[in-house]
Amino acid sequence: MINVTINQERTEARLSITPDPENPETLTTDQLITALKKNNVIAGISKKNLVAIRNKFNHQPTRAVSVIIARALPKKPTSQHQYNFNFTTGKNIGRLQGADQIDYKNKGIIKSLKPEEILLEVILGREGTPGRLIDGTVVKNEPLKPLINYKTGLGVTLDEDSAKPLYKATTTGQPLLSDNTLSISGTFHLDGDVDLDTGHIKFEGPIEISGNLLADFHISSNADIFIGKTVSGSIQTKGNLTSNGGIIGSETEKIVVGGDLTCEYISAVSRLQTGGAITVAKHIINSHVISGKTVSCQEMITGDSKIIAFYGVTCNELGSDQGSRTTVEIGGSLDLKEKIKKIDEYLEPLIAQSIAMVDELGLQVLMKKDTSSLPEEKRPEAEKTIQQYLKTEEHVARLKEKKSALEEKVEAGLKARVTVKKCTYPGTTIKIGLETYVVERSISGPVEFFLDKTSKTITFERLT
């Protein structure tokens, strides 16, 4: 008796033959195929197994036999196109701090690419082949999705010669994806505030923010930063900082600017430092401000403020008629003099070394760099001494040049002035170099405070 067993998934069929002792018979392949067809097994049949079970049964017709006779033809899955972006195309929610804590302000660094760096690598997919169940049913495959045709925008090129299409940057900046167009922006633009939605911002190039920088959020850049409204957070940049609004500080916020700073006002800022000039359209109140150049304030510098500016300070009013602890320091040269002292400490042994080499070989040999006048056995060592002398003299020249520049800066600092256009109020302290002057009565302006070299005291003169 021929029996066909099929699994529920219709992926496998077993053929079994049970002998009839009372009526033994010899089976043919056609009989077995007919039995399979009656059970709707028409695909994936193993001809090898079919012949083998027939021969085995006919050889020993008194013994039962069984074999897997058919298996479904598996489908080969479709391999979809893969798009490997080298930058984030969505938003992160934040950075994990612990097992169940997320810093929602820290959403990562705004990616900045350099020329030849890859924005997108495309791995081309392949259409699969359909499968077939043992009853002949076709198992369809997932279709290959159409290839997304990303376009190249500003600063992006497509390398089609590669086995994998590569989209590369041709300039430095932020990679962007908009309407299937890849581009590079040299400036990071944000339309709105720096807040929980954006997180902290760190970008190599220029940054432009149309809104506010909220408290407890940080911006960092190696280039210029523009804030359309108020700054209440921290900023660190090697470039310039411009704020159309004011800068409002706290104990935790810090503003560090490599270049110039321009803003509407500065209020309650405990740590603000620039390498360049500071220009304020209105007032500075209760703030600690340091400028490597000048501070210019169109209205009042007042309250518990300390202003340090190497080349001078200008404002309309300084201090307050209500009494305030306002201090202005200009021409500070202590650090510069310390640097000059260290240069002198370096120079002393170098100059002594140069003199020793001159005494050893003679000035003429060193100046002409010619050892022919020396005995032949001394020439190799003399050549080494000449090279050492040239390096030492080069080092000495660089240090002397640096020292001269520092001395000029010290002299310029001592010439710095504090200019007050309207009024300087009692209680205000002015420091120039190592000298200090405390204003005891109101001084109407315009007036300039400066260091008198003859008396070595701070005095003032009225401007006409």
Q: Give the H/E segment covering residue 306.
A: strand 306-309
- Whether residue 213 is contained in a domain is answered as yes
pLDDT, residue 99, reads: 45
- Whether residue 14 is contained in a domain is answered as yes
One domain for residues 308 and 388: no
Pairwise CA distance, residues 284 & 305, whole Å: 8
pLDDT, residue 417, reads: 92
pLDDT, residue 333, reads: 65
Contact between 81 and 55 (Cβ < 8 Å): no
- Whether residue 295 is contained in a domain is answered as yes
- Whether residue 451 is contained in a domain is answered as yes
Q: What pairs with residue 309 in β-bridges?
A: 291, 330
Q: For residue 114, give the nearest of 194, 189, 222, 199 by alpha carbon.
A: 222
- Whether residue 87 is contained in a domain is answered as yes
- Whether residue 77 is contained in a domain is answered as no
Contact between 107 and 163 (Cβ < 8 Å): no
- Whether residue 76 is contained in a domain is answered as no
Which regions of 319-372 does DSSP assign to beta strands (E)?
327-330
One domain for residues 421 and 410: no
One domain for residues 219 and 313: yes
Per-residue model confidence as pLDDT tens digits over 404-425? 888 888 887 778 899 999 999 9
One domain for residues 212 and 319: yes
Give the ranges where 223-333 is alpha helix by DSSP (H).
none
One domain for residues 275 and 193: yes
pLDDT, residue 334, reads: 63
For residue 345, how many other CB atoms are within 10 A of its CB? 9
Taking 50 as the pLDDT cut, the residues of the chain under it are 90-104, 107-108
pLDDT, residue 169, reads: 93
One domain for residues 124 and 12: no
One domain for residues 90 and 131: yes
Q: For residue 300, give the nearest of 286, 311, 316, 279 by alpha carbon.
A: 316
- φ, ψ (nearest 5 deg) of residue 381: -70, -35
Pairwise CA distance, residues 109 & 220, whole Å: 10
User: Last residue of some domain: 47, 71, 95?
Assistant: 71
- Whether residue 339 is contained in a domain is answered as no
One domain for residues 235 and 169: no
Q: Give the H/E segment covering residue 357.
A: helix 334-361
Pairwise CA distance, residues 326 & 316, whole Å: 14
Per-residue model confidence as pLDDT tens digits over 102-155? 444 554 456 678 899 999 999 999 999 999 999 999 999 899 999 998 999 999
User: Last residue of some domain: 156, 185, 214?
Assistant: 185
Pairwise CA distance, residues 251 & 390, whole Å: 53
**120 three-class SS:** strand
One domain for residues 143 and 174: yes
By residue range, what is the domain housing residue 110? 82-185
Counting the structural domains of the chain, the total is 4
Cis peptide leading into residue 74 (ω within 30°):
no
One domain for residues 304 and 208: yes
Q: For residue 398, give the nearest of 347, 355, 341 by alpha carbon.
A: 347
Contact between 135 and 10 (Cβ < 8 Å): yes
User: Last residue of some domain: 185, 204, 227?
Assistant: 185
One domain for residues 399 and 421: no
Pairwise CA distance, residues 98 & 428, whole Å: 50
One domain for residues 277 and 199: yes
